[in-house]
Amino acid sequence: MIMDVMEIQKIIPHRYPFLLLDRVTEIKENESLIGFKNVTIGDNVFQGHFPGHPIYPGVMILEGMAQAGGILAFKSMGDMTEEEAAGKVVYFMSIDGAKFRAPVRPGDRLEYRISVIKNRGQIWVLEGKAFVDDVLVSEAELKAMIVDK
């Protein structure tokens, strides 16, 4: 399954400049998701992080992981209609063990690989990893809950 940015926006409420996922290239419901963000010098965050030495902020990498994890959780609830999904939102409860292993720069394609660790009802525990050119740049464990808006 492939989801472009228009499909992504049907599932999560984020919009420019805070939509941090450009495409989903693979989803295995209740198991995993692969998606990416193209990091460009046109991203607003580079105006201040850091002028003359642009580095994509770690917190933005974690938010991209969280957005990808939200899509995986929604798509894993297969019996939910688009209308029902529109009445729900994913709240992140914790991000644990976050590590940043290499800087991400303009021109990089940030690939998110999200895996389900555990799911109990509306609660999801996910492993998130971010790669650039198959090099691990960040990882974290994410816990989220799907709730009514």
Residue 43's domain is classified under what CATH number?
Answer: 3.10.129.10
Q: How many domains does the chain have?
A: 1
Dihedral Cα 105, 24, 66, 79, nearest 10 deg? 180
- Are 25 and 19 in contact, with CB atoms under 8 Å apart? no
Instruction: Answer whether residue 80 shows pLDDT above 90.
Output: no
* pLDDT score recorded for residue 1: 65
Of 121 and 137, the one with more pLDDT: 137
The phi, psi pair for 139, rounded to 5°, reads: -155, 155
Q: For residue 108, how many other CB atoms are within 10 A of its CB?
A: 20
Catalytic residues: 49
Instruction: Answer whether residue 81 shows pLDDT above 80.
Output: no
